[in-house]
Amino acid sequence: MSRNGLFDLSGKTAAIIGGASGIGRAVAIGAAAQGAAIVVLDANEPAAREVAAGIDGAAAAPVDIGDAASVGAAMETIVRERGRVDIVVCTPSINVRKPILDYSMDEFDRVVAVNLKGTFNVLKATGRIMSAQRGGSIIFFSSIRSQVVEPGQSVYAMTKAGIAQLVRAGAAEFGPYNVRVNAVAPGVVETPLTAPIKANADWYSAYANKSALKRWARADEMVGPTLFLASDAASFVTGTVLFADGGWTAVDGRFTPPGM
């Protein structure tokens, strides 16, 4: 990936939350390739430092997005050490796959605490800083599950739909300060979160065949959509959920008419 005009991030500081693995790691590497100064933030500090060690000039620090104080401290540290934060990408989420009737309240609280409360914590802390500096781009990760569901995905889908609405609310409130808020909505991506599904051949194939492209996405294929939203190429894009799902939500897929 080479630097090119509107997508050049030179001179910008990018905080990648969840940057120790999966999509976050890929985005950290991709943003660095476009010239951004990278701060890798993750609950797994050793893994974050390992990723940062492979990126020239990058730093790493721990963060717990479920803890508002932790998020606020991490962002304030970046501003104190680097002057400002121009881009924040937040990827972490968890899922407990269970039928609604089997869900415990502890499981419900755990998923909501990371996916929804964590997103809100990042939006609030980052929105405050970027509004004061009069500019910035915040990018969250929603999902196809914000639109379509399957059995066992109730709470996860609820949180991903909630993220879409938080993005719109953030865009409305922070837009007057030149702060953009958007989300990427992947389909099925090969990450540590989806590893148990990939290990099941029938499940893996069923998901691959649901998309128009008949395969899963790689984590690095989420880099382009994310960096588009981060860059000046998307300077008039805010409040948007960008689906990078291989056509999953576009294609019905239940039946191919004869002769097609």
**φ/ψ of residue 16, rounded to 5:** -110, 105
- In a domain, residue 107? The reply is yes
Q: Which two tokens stand for residue 145?
A: 């599950």
Predicted local distance difference test score (pLDDT) of residue 1: 44
Is residue 254 in some structural domain? no
Place of tokens 């500090």: 45
Which residue type occupies 224?
Answer: G
Calpha distance 179→173 (Å, rounded):
9
Number of neighbouring beta carbons within 10 Å of residue 55: 21
Q: 22-33 and 45-53 are packed helices; what angle lies between their axes, rounded to 10 degrees?
A: 30
Confidence of residue 4 (pLDDT cuts 50, 70, 90): low
**Number of domains within the chain:** 1
Per-residue pLDDT reduced to its tens digit, 49-88: 999 999 999 999 999 999 999 999 999 999 999 999 999 9
CB 115 within 8 A of CB 94: yes
pLDDT (average), residues 162-173: 98
* Residue 57, domain member (yes or no): yes
Q: Which pLDDT belongs to residue 260?
A: 64
Range of the domain at 111: 5-190+220-243
- Is residue 180 situated within a structural domain? yes
The pLDDT mean for the chain works out to 94
Does a structural domain hold residue 133? yes
Tell me: the pLDDT tens digits for 96-119? 999 999 999 999 999 999 999 999
Q: Return the SS3 of 205.
A: helix
State the pLDDT confidence band at 198, using cuts at 50, 70 and 90.
confident
Does residue 147 fall inside a structural domain?
yes
For position 83, which CATH number holds? 3.40.50.720
Catalytic residue among 103, 156, 177, 204: 156
**156 classed as catalytic:** yes
Give domain status of residue 249, yes or no. Answer: no
Res. 159 pLDDT band, cuts 50 70 90: very high
DSSP label at 254? S
Which tokens belong to 133?
């500096």
212 lies in some domain: no
pLDDT per position as a tens digit, 204-241: 899 999 899 999 999 999 999 999 999 999 999 999 99
pLDDT at 3 over 60: no
